[in-house]
Amino acid sequence: MALGTDYSGQDCSLAKALEVVGERWSLLLVRDAFLGVTRFSDFRRRLDISKAVLTQRLGSLVEAGVLERRTHGGHDAYVLTPTGEALWPAVHALMRWGDATTSARGPRRLFRHVPCDADLDVTGRCPVCGATPTAAQLETRPGPGAGTDPPANPLSARLREPHRLLTPLRD
Amino acid sequence: MALGTDYSGQDCSLAKALEVVGERWSLLLVRDAFLGVTRFSDFRRRLDISKAVLTQRLGSLVEAGVLERRTHGGHDAYVLTPTGEALWPAVHALMRWGDATTSARGPRRLFRHVPCDADLDVTGRCPVCGATPTAAQLETRPGPGAGTDPPANPLSARLREPHRLLTPLRD
DNA sequence: TCGGTTGGTCTGGTGAACAGACCAGGGCGT
DNA sequence: ACGCCCTGGTCTGTTCACCAGACCAACCGA
C-alpha cells in the first residue's frame, strides 16, 4: 500500500478521493493527462519520477478507473477515462489556489472556453455562458504568471503552446 | 523534507499547491479545520495520525500560512487563515469527486448556503443566487451517502450534527 | 545489422511514517 | 497539598515507500 493511500475508518468523501489521487505524483500525472500526455516515457520526461514509481502510479490510476491503458501500435497510451475527466474541477481549483498563493503576476496557465472564446474565471466558470465547462471544451495557453525559463525539453515546449485539452500530443 | 513536498523544477500552479497541501494528511487536516476542529488532540482523535507527524504537518501548514496558531488560555488553537479558507473550492471539488466515484447513494455530506437556504450543487454553486459561496456562508449536515456506523467518538458525533463551517467547536 | 526508443523490472540505500514510551505544564477535585 | 487527568508535545526503533541506477526484451528506422 502506497503512502497516502490508507485512510481507513474515514467516512469521508475527501479521504476516499485522496486514497486514489492523494499519493505523491498522482495528481501531476492527471494534470499532464489533461494536457495531452499519454505515454510512459513522456510522463517520465515531464516529471522526473522514478520509473518504478511511475509504473506503480499509472497502474493504480488504471486500477482505480482514472486512466485507461490502450496498447496502440507498438507502444502504450494512458488516457483519462470519464471518471478521470471528472477530476477537472478539483485540478482546476487547486491550480488556482496555487496561483493565488505563489504567483504574483497571475495565473501561470489560462483556460479558454472554446465555444464562447472566453477565459475561465477563478471558480472554473465561463464568464460568457455561465456554465462550468468540462475539460474537453477547453483550450489552454500560458498565462501572465508563466515562467520565462526555456522549456526543459521539446515535449514541455509543445505543452506550452496553445492547444486543446485531452487531445493526445502523439499519433 | 516531507514526502510529497518537493516538486522542484515544475513551473506549475498545481505542483506549487501540492508542495503545501499535497502531503499525506494535510488536506484532511484542512477539511477538519473547515468543520471547526482547532485543537491538537481533536485532530488526533479524528485522524488516527501519529503525534510526531501531526506536529510536523500542523507546523508546516502554519509556516505555509494555511493555518494560524493561537495560544488561548492554557491550550493551543489552530485556525484557518484567509489563505487556508481559499482552499474551500478545491476541498469541495475533491469531496464531490470522491462522492461520485465511491458513493452510490449520493453525497456523504451536504453544504447549505445559509442566506439562500439551498444546498450547493456539484460545482459548488448556490442554485438560488448563483454565487460560489465562501465556507463562512455554509452550514453542513450529513447527506444521503453518509455512513450509518455510530460515530467513533463524541467529537465526530458533534461534527456530524448540522453546524456552520469555520466555527470552533470548543470555547 | 546496428543503434535508439519504449516500457518496463530489480537492487541497494535513504528517509518518511508508524506505534508506543516518555514528559512538562496546567487545571481540577479532595 | 496531593494526586490525577488532559494537553501538546519529543524521542526511539521499526517498517516501508521512494529514489537512483543497472539491466533487459521488444520494436523501429536507417
Reported as a single tens digit per residue, the pLDDT across A56-110 is 999 999 999 999 999 876 788 999 999 999 999 999 999 999 999 999 999 999 9
Over chain B (171 residues), the average pLDDT of each successive run of 10 is 57 92 96 96 93 96 96 85 98 98 95 98 96 98 91 89 93 68
Within its chain, how far is the Cα of A23 from the centroid? 14
A31 and A46, same domain (yes or no): yes
Domain contains B5: no
Domain final position from A35, A56, A84: A84
Same domain, A112 and A151: yes
CA-CA distance, B98 to B108, in Å (whole number)?
9
Which of strand D's nucleotides are less than 7 A from any protein C-beta? 6-12, 16-22, 27-28
pLDDT tens-place string over residues B82-106:
999 999 999 999 999 999 999 999 9
Domain assignment of residue A109, yes or no: yes
Give me the pLDDT at residue A5, please: 63
The boundaries of the domain holding residue A51 are 13-84
Torsion of CA B34, B35, B41, B44, to 10 degrees: -90
Task: Specify whether A47 is located in the same domain as A93.
Answer: no
Domain assignment of residue A127, yes or no: yes
* Chain B residue with minimum CA distance to A96: B13
Strand D close residues, chain B 39-58, CB < 7 angstroms: 39-42, 50-52, 55, 58
- Whose cell is 493526445? That residue is A168
Same domain as B135, residue B109: yes
Residues B102 and B127 in one domain: yes
Output the distance from B151 CA to C28 C1' rounded to whole Å: 28
Query: Chain A residue closest to B150 (CA)?
Result: A11
Phi/psi of residue A126, each to 5°?
-85, 125
Chain A residues whose beta carbon lies within 8 Å of the beta carbon of residue B95:
12-14, 17
- Could you tell me which residues come within 8 angstroms of residue B99 by beta carbon, excluding any fewer than 6 positions away? A13, A16, B106, B107, B108, B143, B145
User: How many DSSP H helices and E strands does chain B contain?
Assistant: 7, 6
Chain A residues with CB-CB distance to B109 below 8 A: 12-13
CATH number, domain of B50, equals 1.10.10.10
Same domain as A76, residue A98: no
**8 A C-beta contact, residue A130 and residue A162:** no
Within-domain flag for A73: yes
Q: Is the CB of A75 under 7 A from strand C?
A: yes
Final residue before a domain boundary, out of B84, B102, B132: B84
Kindly determine whether residue A90 and residue B97, on different chains, have CB atoms separated by under 8 Å: yes
A89:B93 CB<8 A:
yes
The whole-number pLDDT of residue A1 equals: 34
Distance CA B160, CA B18 (A): 28
Same domain assignment for residues A71 and A133: no
Q: What is the number of domains present in chain A?
A: 2
